[in-house]
Amino acid sequence: MMLDDTYIQPQKPVILTGDRPTGPLHLGHYVGSLANRVKFQDEYRQFVMIADMQALTDNMGNYAKVRDNVVEVALDYLAVGIDPDKSTLLIQSKVPELAELTVLFLNLVSVARLERNPTVKEEIRQRGFERDIPAGFLSYPVAQAADITAFKARHVPVGEDQLPMIEQTNEIVRRFNRSVGKDVLVEAQAVLSRVGRLPGIDGQAKMSKSLGNAIALSAPADQVSQAVKQMFTDPNHLRVDDPGQVEGNVVFTYLDAFEPDAALVADLKARYRAGGLGDSVVKRQLEDRLQALLQPIRERRTELSRDKGAILEMLRKHSLVARDVAARTLSEVRREIGLDYYFL
Ligand code: TRP
């Protein structure tokens, strides 16, 4: 029987993103990707993955940490406004098809190529893995390629440190498609946010939980206040009357990211540069902004965390939906490469 056209849902383009459940999500995640996800969920079919398998690539042994953070990350998602009626929120390990696809993809990537991935290189250095890299860690970009392609995602909203992952994904997609002579998998595009990478409160290049320079989305108000007070400004701006430097001054970088009133920011910058504007005034403006952003998130999170069982149940259902989608791609892949022993 032919399906009547009216029964066929128009296909929205697919988005997939994810995070490792290793700790609370922070302002860097918010500006880098979460805000975009909230925006995109209406127009796109959006999958948001809690990447527990990827988290284990450098946390073997830390099982409780990864496990306990799954629900915490889900709470962060819901608290910022990712809507479970619009987005599919899945747990990576609940979709074992991803692991199978990863194993197949590993044959399409050389070890030398894996070793060239700049983000992985940097992470190896940070973790002191230079002399003893877990093979799973070195190859997590391949697993990430499986995450993205299993859902045939065209758009991946991520921070810029993830660009090498998308590049590697697309190399795998091209190789795979060429190997079977058919465009089974689709190439993905990164969607970067308006604001670039958010530095840590200490002025280091990246906000990161492991560097201890982050402001968590769930941080209590007094912690936010404390973090703003500690924020790196211009070390040469000793007296209020001294001209201050705006470039590399974290408070201004954050104002650019979080203060919607651009004219106000421009005015503060001009007065700071000229001299006569104290750090504390600029910090107060930023703190007001951050508190206004974070307070409703925190309240929503507290409310939602009263029923973690409900969150887990939502994740279970959503993961089943996701699994169905991934399983379709995997059976296409299997068919194309001859692993379709359906008669057995
Ligand atoms: N590597 C990402 C990070 O560290 C998390 C992630 C896992 C991801 N799978 C993904 C991001 C798929 C985008 C798409 O933040």
Mutate to test the pocket of ligand 1, among 54, 105, 154 (most ligand atoms within 8 A of CB): 54
**Percent residues over pLDDT 70 in the chain:** 96
SS3 70: helix
Quick check: 2 pLDDT over 80?
no
Q: Which two tokens stand for residue 172?
A: 């795998």
Cα 292 to middle of ligand 1, angstroms: 28
Looking at the chain, the domain(s) classified CATH 3.40.50.620 span 5-199+308-337
Cα 156 to middle of ligand 1, angstroms: 9
**Which homologous superfamily is 221-301 in?**
Tyrosyl-Transfer RNA Synthetase (1.10.240.10)
SS3 60: coil
Residue 55 Cβ contacting ligand 1 at under 6 Å: no
SS3 151: coil
Question: What's the pLDDT score for residue 344?
Answer: 67
Nearest C-alpha neighbor of 190 from the set 33, 340, 77, 78: 33
Question: What's the pLDDT score for residue 75?
Answer: 98
* Chain centroid offset of residue 132 CA: 27
Cα 260 to middle of ligand 1, angstroms: 28
Burial of 11 (0-12, 13-18, 19+ CB in 10 A): exposed
Mutate to test the pocket of ligand 1, among 73, 144, 156 (most ligand atoms within 8 A of CB): 144
Residue 147 Cβ contacting ligand 1 at under 6 Å: yes
Amino acid identity of residue 319, one-letter, is S
CATH number of 5-199+308-337: 3.40.50.620
Atom 15 of ligand 1, residue of closest alpha carbon: 19
Looking at the chain, the domain(s) classified CATH 1.10.240.10 span 221-301
Cα 239 to middle of ligand 1, angstroms: 44
Q: Which two tokens stand for residue 228?
A: 């703003």
CA distances from 46 to 36, 41, 49, 140, 319 (A): 11, 6, 10, 22, 13
Nearest C-alpha neighbor of 17 from the set 126, 157, 132: 157
Q: What is the pLDDT of residues 139-148, one digit of tens each?
A: 999 999 999 9
Cα 18 to middle of ligand 1, angstroms: 4
Question: What's the pLDDT score for residue 196?
Answer: 80
Cα 282 to middle of ligand 1, angstroms: 34
Burial of 81 (0-12, 13-18, 19+ CB in 10 A): middle
Amino acid identity of residue 111, one-letter, is V
CA distances from 4 to 7, 8, 73, 317 (A): 6, 7, 41, 29
Question: What is the helix (H) or strand (E) element at residue 153, kind and residue range?
Answer: none
Instruction: Evaluate whether 293 touches 118 at the Cβ level (below 8 Å).
Output: no
Residue 18 pairs with which residues in a beta bridge? Answer: 49
Residue 49 pairs with which residues in a beta bridge? Answer: 18, 90
Cα 261 to middle of ligand 1, angstroms: 32
Residue 144 Cβ contacting ligand 1 at under 6 Å: yes
Quick check: 64 pLDDT over 60?
yes
Question: What's the pLDDT score for residue 160?
Answer: 86
Residues 6+ apart with CB under 8 A from 146: 98, 99, 101, 102, 105
Supply angle C-alpha 197, 225, 233, rounded to 5. Answer: 50
Q: What is the pLDDT of residues 167-199, one digit of tens each?
A: 999 999 999 999 999 999 999 999 998 888 899
The DSSP secondary structure of 198-247, one letter per residue, reads: PPPTTS-SS--GGGT---BTT--HHHHHHHHHH----TT--STTS----T
Dist CA 161 CA 231 (whole Å): 23
Q: What is the pLDDT of residues 238-273, one digit of tens each?
A: 899 999 999 999 999 999 999 999 999 999 999 999
Atom 14 of ligand 1, residue of closest alpha carbon: 17
Which atom of ligand 1 is nearest to 92's Cα? 9
Which atom of ligand 1 is nearest to 51's Cα? 7
Supply angle C-alpha 103, 106, 112, rounded to 5. Answer: 155
Residue 52 Cβ contacting ligand 1 at under 6 Å: no
Instruction: Evaluate whether 21 touches 69 at the Cβ level (below 8 Å).
Output: yes
Atom 8 of ligand 1, residue of closest alpha carbon: 18
SS3 54: helix
Residue 4 pLDDT grade (very low, low, confident, very high; cuts 50, 70, 90): very low
Cα 155 to middle of ligand 1, angstroms: 13
Q: What is the pLDDT of residues 194-207, one digit of tens each?
A: 888 899 999 988 89
